[in-house]
Chains A and B, each alone.
Chain A
Amino acid sequence: MNFPVIVTVTLRPGIADPEGATIERALPALGFTGVTHVRAGKSFAMQIDAPDEVSALEKATALAERLLSNPVIEDASARIAVSPGAST
């Protein structure tokens, strides 16, 4: 069965995020006030063939830790994407 999976990679807490900081500084000029703690990251969408959701997420987590993120500075998390027609 194919499961739609989203992997999100963000910088670990405490790691400087110049991209997030720059975005945060730009927001007030555009009228968006009260927005803080902006962190930039990456998102990856994929289909994973697995017998069930749990093993799909295990596979996604493993590949996220091995390739999609650098554990020295980044955290990765995987979730099943909610999409029309997806098996539950």
Chain B
Amino acid sequence: MIRIGVVVFPGSNCEYDAAAAVSAMGGEADFIWHSETSITGFDGVILPGGFAHGDYLRPGALARFSPVMEAVAAFANEGGPVLGICNGFQVLTEAGLLPGALQKNAGLTFVCEPTTLIVASTRSVLTRAATKGQELVIPINHFSGAYTCDDETLRSLEANDQIALRYKNNPNGSRGDIAGVSNIAGNVVGLMPHPERAMTTLLGSADGRVLLEGFLHSSVAAH
């Protein structure tokens, strides 16, 4: 069975949702406490949403120095699939595993609503099972979700096909309507929307399933 590690920082609060989503797709999820220094035995790693270390200083700023992050970086450098959702995305950018930064939303409002995403690339481990141009309804739930980067980074993101998902109607002022990006290799990916909360039509949308399916499938392929 595909085994996914879900990293838990003090202040994470979406780890059970992430684990439930993995289970729903037929995988097995185990929690990894942030003080762990090894993450062997996992086929993929998820950094879930929440407020790691209280979001003090900046979202993700303190979490990137948690002991587990060195192991996550090593896992990523070996090609292991790593997914950061919301706060997990912020942690990955602070750690330098993904380019850019997440800033306070334009309008300074906390946004919690379903958004329509457009699959911009199917190169990433998250979007590989989806179709380019496909529209997905996935909820967002954040205050610091405005994707920000300089002109040069934006050009290289586009040149290297690293923009995985864009918002159809930009809800937070993200540059280039960017909702999710990957590293150049495509095995590390982060997004502000919550695919793990869109796993069943009973709760509004099942469009997260195609994303989680791609991620779990990558895990098999990677090992």
Q: Which residues of A are interface residues toward B (Cβ below 8 A)? A: 14-16, 18-19, 22, 67-68, 70, 72-73
Contact = CB atoms under 8 A, between A and B. Distances in A.
A58 B88 CA distance: 32
Given A16-B103, A16-B106, A67-B61, 8 more contacts: A15-B148, A16-B148, A19-B108, A72-B93, A72-B100, A73-B101, A73-B103, A73-B148
Given A70-B94, A72-B93, A72-B148, A18 B61 contact: no
Identify the 6 closest CB pairs spanning chains A and B, nearest first: A72-B101, A73-B101, A18-B108, A18-B106, A70-B101, A73-B148
Q: By DSSP majority rule, is chain B's interface helix, strand, loop, or mixed?
A: loop
A16 B57 contact: no
Interface residues of B, number: 19
A68 to B, nearest CB: 7
B58 interface: yes
Contacts of B107: 18
B24 interface: no
B104 A68 contact: no
Interface string B155-168: 00000000000000
A71 to B, nearest CB: 9
Contacts of B106: 16, 18
Contact of B104 (A18, A67, A70, A72): A18
B2 interface: no
Interface in B143-197: 146, 148-150, 173
A22 B108 contact: yes
B205 interface: no
A22 B105 CA distance: 12
Contact of B146 (A16, A68, A72): A16
Nearest to B65: A67
A74 to B, nearest CB: 8
17 contacts: A14-B150, A16-B103, A16-B106, A16-B148, A16-B173, A18-B105, A18-B106, A18-B173, A22-B108, A67-B61, A70-B61, A70-B94, A70-B101, A72-B150, A73-B101, A73-B103, A73-B148
